[in-house]
Amino acid sequence: MSSKNVRANISTALLVVLLGGTVSATDSLFGNASLNNVFISSLDKKNSSETENEIIERLQNENILSFENIRIEIFYRRSELKNLELYALFYSNDTIYDVYYSEDLKTQYPEIELAADILKNDDKLIISKFCERIIIRLRSNPRRLKRITNIEDFLLNTEFGRSMNHAEILKNEQSVKKSEHVFSYLEELKVVTATKSETSLRETPSAVYVITESMIKERGYRTVIDALADIPGFQFQRTYGTNPDLVNQRGLIGQNQRSLLYIDGQPDNNISDLGIRNGSLYYPLHNVKQIEIVAGPASALYGANAFNGIINVLSKDQENETDSGHANLTFGSWNNDFSYNAYAVDFAVNKAIRTDKDNLSFSAAGYYLKSDGPDFRGIQNLNSDRKGYWWSDYYNNSREEGYSANLRMRWNNFRAQAIAWQHIQGGGTFANGIREIDTNTRGFEGYNWDFRNNSVMTGYTHDFTRILNLDSEVRIRHTEILSSSKDEYVNTDIPSVYNNAAAARANNDITLYKDYARPDYGYEIIERLSYNPNAHWSTQLGFEAAHYSTPAGYGSHIRYLYQNYGTYIQQLYKPVPELAVTAGFRFDHNTIYGNAATPRLSLVWSASSNLTLKSFYSTGFRAPTAWELFNATAQRLANPELAPERLNAYEIGAGYRFLKNYYLNAQVYYNQISNLILEASTNEANPNGGFWNKNQNVGSARVISTEIKIDANPFLWLSFLRRTHIPAVSILTCLLP
């Protein structure tokens, strides 16, 4: 077959695919050499049996025949420098879904000025690398999702693709299809949090929201809390200090302990009280690839405390990114006279070094912030009973200073990571200024609530075969309330105590509390076995063991040691390409509260290219924290008999793309919660007066809610201004005995 005819056939086939159609095997008539599902042909009328046999041999060695329901068409030719150039088109169900090519540097960059002998490459080396990349493409995309970007790159950016005389047609067609491609991209986006393995967003067996790198840039998100504000199901209360933001997901309030936050798959909640602390919520996004939010319980995979949702912040991955680096300096002011200011510095470096045998990549990102915080000086509104709000004329209680660092490296199947952050912050508006001193000037110590998190991880993935691997990981974690934390209580409600700190202390009008240090330690081992024999069947088996050491309370030298052991199985089955059934079960044993079992079941039906329907049943449990179990105060007794909170969730959802420029995602769920842990009064007399409080399993709740998210792109030429509108209705009923 002539080169001209081959090009015409490929051009037609690829254009049909990009316009949403399919191509049958008879539409492309290749074949000077073949290997069942691989067809090879020359583009320059110079057939080479040596080249073709070498390709076949390499692919046979890589077990190419084990990949089902695919067809690969390979084309080769000689460049101007006589280097071998190769092009591979991937078909599934008679539709082109991906393209990979290897071209001469001189072909790609004709302006390059290097000697021919430097640019000359050995045929066998080129074929070896090319076949290796083909196998990687197949393994990394087991569901054969269409890679529009790769196809467009081939058509528009290669000499072979451009020679097909359809680039202008494609360009015009893309202006019509642009918004459709945006939403197709979102549906096919790879996420890992919902299943602990790479899955397209469309097929995740959970309600999952994704914030991409482009969204972070377009919408100006700086920190995690900024991004969460645009996700349905979240409610916020801001104090600009202790718990700077109380973040509640799906109607359950608390102190940030009913959702888990991960950074690159590493847990970042405080160990003692399980709260998501200020350094986590204000984690910077300057080197983040995407944020994945799983809405609803995920204990069947993640165990205790994946109770009401998971937030996973994923850094840029040098396996797939180009080398990059940046540094930024930001300055701003909270008011017009520049008396309350803030500045921040951030940097990131991402580098990859690849050879024939090794793949080494590393990433380093850092951030430093110092801020005076918002200015609440003199904001006062007390009634005659001295109820209301009041902050002094000297308020500086929202000051903050913090840093974060994230170091990552990967060498072939080995990986390691270290994450550290520290956040020093005033108490903010968490308490009234007539109850706690709101300044550290004029001789006062003030109010600080300071946290630090450090974690290190190392892991290794062992590939037994192409379809079976074992991933092993070890984590060491340290979370801490720092000894710099303190507060000054006002023993009288007279604001005049701010006039003279020395006199207020002498008169016992204020009391300083400083002994708040609370270091926690965690040691975790995670094993995960994955078996993926084909696109219809995927199995995960996991085992986790963790040892924790936490203090009994603030400044306490008494430590509690406890362990948690968990094992789980998750099974994905696709009887037909349009239907995915996922079932999971996890069993945990904890040396404090005993055993817990959590199942899950989901159905995902891709009814059409524009409509996906989902239904879930999932369960969750939240273990009582060491803080809730053991911490006693002058008003509260310890309660080591607490049982875990339980949640049963029933949910249906739909994703629908309509009118080309709109994408609707809707979820309706019903949650039943029992054994809610609340601090409640007892009938036991307290020697200090009144009755003791105690954390108790006294609460239950039902949450019925609808979450609706619409991505709109009404004007093609304004696509970069796309926004999310989130209408939501929530009904919360709390039944207390």
Q: Mean pLDDT in each 10-residue stretch from start to end of the chain (737 residues)?
A: 45 46 39 66 79 87 79 87 88 83 69 54 86 86 80 77 50 40 52 70 78 84 89 82 78 81 92 87 90 87 84 78 80 86 92 79 93 88 80 88 94 94 88 84 88 95 91 96 89 81 86 88 95 87 94 85 93 89 93 89 88 91 84 82 90 84 84 86 82 85 84 50 36 37
Asked if 309 contacts 667 with a C-beta cutoff of 8 angstroms, the reply is no
User: What is the pLDDT at residue 163?
Assistant: 64
Q: Is CATH 3.30.160.100 correct for 3-165?
A: yes
Question: What would the pLDDT profile of 223-249 be if each residue is shown by its tens digit?
Answer: 999 998 888 888 888 877 777 778 888
User: What is the pLDDT at residue 22?
Assistant: 42
Tell me which residue has tokens 């101007």: 80
The torsion of the CA quartet 122, 125, 128, 134, rounded to 10 degrees, works out to: -80
Please provide the DSSP assignment of 479-547 as one string: EEE-TT-BEEEESS--GGGGG-HHHHHHTT-EEEE----EEEEEEEEEEEEEEEEETTEEEEEEEEEEE
User: What is the pLDDT at residue 169?
Assistant: 34
The whole model's pTM is what? 0.72
Q: Helix crossing, 148-157 with 3-18: angle to 10°? A: 140
Name residues whose C-beta falls within 8 Å of residue 505's C-beta, 6 or more positions apart in sequence: none
User: What is the pLDDT at residue 208?
Assistant: 84
User: What is the pLDDT at residue 564?
Assistant: 92
Asked if 194 contacts 209 with a C-beta cutoff of 8 angstroms, the reply is no
d(CA 585, CA 599): 4
Put residue 437 in one of left, alpha, beta given phi > 0 → left and psi -120 to 50 → alpha.
beta
User: What is the pLDDT at residue 357?
Assistant: 76
Count of all residues that appear for the chain in the document? 737
Put residue 541 in one of left, alpha, beta given phi > 0 → left and psi -120 to 50 → alpha.
beta
In this structure, the number of other CB atoms found within 10 A of the CB of residue 147 comes to: 19
d(CA 3, CA 709): 49
